[in-house]
A and B are shown apart, each in its own frame.
Chain A
């Protein structure tokens, strides 16, 4: 039998299996459908015909998720990831695309959702050059986590996502801020936006500066603050534009009379761009209260951009070891 014929026979077999599987799903025999599919997929895996196993398991999972069988559906996703791992499937459009399609079908209330996401991300860490996982996958994961109200996890994946994620991250922080302002107004506070805005805005700026994404930090600054002054017309501010040598666009600073934190954070972006240690120290000196409040964040940035060694609490064991080894530290 020629290879082509053999392939045809296999494809027909696979189609028949899937067909039988679908009829069981339609009949509501979810348990049996799930078990049968797993047994057949096992056979493919043992024969190392991974492509067929992947096809079968991902289609099976799709049908179960569409039939709102979250438990069995996500079980098959875990199985798919096992096969990916065993077959050493690398991250590419097809392998990522398959996971994204499944991810989209999971109900945000599915108890397994966070574990599925972790499993997918671990695979993308292992089989790509991204130490924290694939950015396209992150973008979809973040949206899903947000729907499921896992806000801080969503934030982390947005931060490590694509350009599409920046807009969504800014939107999340903005909506969150507006909700907080409303909450405080209901409690009877006056102009809570002035005291709250910094604690929301700083998340965007710090997170992007941490991963040296100056472009996204600037974008977040621009969009968020523009929206702030537009939607809260009582906020007093003036804009100062400054030409930066060698750059196409001016540095635009929104100077706020009633919120030093916003001023400080904007200046911080520019300071990181210069990598000038003296400027960084002068900024911290001027804003003493804020530099105390943000000590851990600024210590990290000090290390990352200005070569200032972190003053970690001394590690007894490490000190002893370096002493024994004749280290000078």
Chain B
């Protein structure tokens, strides 16, 4: 089977994903009072951050 190019996939995907009104609007925020899980811890990056170097 021929794999679909990423560009083609994206275009089709966007069409499908925007057929209907989304369940969660683009400005949806679950109130923090209702948040009971934080997801998974993201892996640490191998780059150090130096706050003194930041603009």
Contact A296 B40 (CB under 8 A): yes
- Shortest distance in angstroms between B11's beta carbon and chain A's nearest beta carbon? 7
Is A44 an interface residue when CB atoms closer than 8 A count as contact? no
A273 close to B24 (CB less than 8 A): yes
The answer on a CB contact under 8 Å between B26 and A273 is yes
The answer to whether A267 touches B10, judged by C-beta atoms less than 8 angstroms apart, is: yes
Q: Which of A197-245 contact B (CB under 8 A)?
A: 199-200, 202-203, 206-207, 209-216, 218, 240, 242-245
**Across the interface, which residues of B come within 8 angstroms of A159, CB to CB?**
38
Of A183, A209, A245, A263, which is within 8 A of B10 by CB?
A: A263
Is A175 within 8 A of B49, CB to CB? yes
- Chain B CB within 8 A of A297 CB: yes
Closest to A298 in B: B40
CB closest residue in chain A, given B43: A199
Closest CB-CB distance, A73 to chain B, in whole Å? 22
**CB of A43 to closest CB in B, whole Å:** 38
Q: Give the interface size class of chain A.
A: 35 or more
CA–CA, A62 to B27, complex, Å? 40
CA distance A304 to B23 in the complex (A): 13
In the complex, chain A residues 258-299 whose Cβ is within 8 Å of any chain B Cβ? 260, 263, 267, 270-276, 279, 282-283, 286, 296-297, 299
A147 within 8 A of B: yes
Establish whether residues A149 and B21, one from each chain, have CB atoms under 8 Å apart when the complex forms: no
Say yes or no: is A320 at the interface (Cβ < 8 Å to chain B): no
Given contacts A211-B32, A214-B24, whether A244 and B18 have CB atoms under 8 Å apart is yes
Within 8 A of B (CB), among A41-65: none
Residues of B contacting A209 in the complex (Cβ-Cβ under 8 angstroms): 39
**In the bound complex, do residue B47 and residue A135 qualify as a contact, i.e. CB atoms below 8 Å apart?**
no
The answer to whether residues A271 and B17 also contact, given A214-B24, A244-B22 and a CB cut-off of 8 A, is yes
A132 at the B interface (CB under 8 A): yes
A contacts with B: majority SS: helix
Residues on B with beta carbons closer than 8 Å to the beta carbon of A130? 32-33
Q: Are B29 and A300 in contact (CB under 8 A)?
A: no
B2: Cβ under 8 A from any A Cβ? no
Bound Cα distance from A247 to B28, whole angstroms:
11
- Tell which of B23, B32, B45 touches A274, judged by Cβ atoms closer than 8 Å: B23
Q: How far is the CB of B44 from chain A (nearest CB, A)?
A: 7
Chain A residue with Cβ nearest B13: A267
A4 interface residue per 8 A CB criterion: no
Contact assessment for A297 and B49 in the assembled complex, using a CB-CB cutoff below 8 Å: no
- Shortest CB–CB separation between residue B12 and chain A, in angstroms? 9
Residues on A with beta carbons closer than 8 Å to the beta carbon of B42: 202-203, 206-207, 297
Taking CB atoms, residues of chain B closer than 8 Å to A171 are 54
Known: A212-B29, A255-B7, A286-B9. A149 touches B23 (CB 8 A): no
A159: min CB distance to chain B, Å: 8
Any B CB within 8 A of the CB of A131: yes
Binding site for A on B (CB under 8 A): 4, 6-7, 9-11, 13-30, 32-33, 35-40, 42, 44-45, 47-51, 53-55
Ranked 4 nearest A-B pairs via Cβ: A210-B39, A246-B21, A212-B30, A180-B47
Query: Can you show 29 pairs from A to B with CB atoms below 8 A apart?
Result: A129-B33, A132-B35, A147-B51, A149-B50, A159-B38, A175-B53, A196-B47, A203-B42, A206-B42, A207-B39, A212-B30, A214-B25, A214-B26, A218-B26, A240-B14, A244-B22, A246-B25, A249-B26, A251-B14, A251-B26, A253-B14, A255-B7, A270-B22, A273-B25, A273-B28, A275-B22, A279-B16, A286-B9, A304-B37
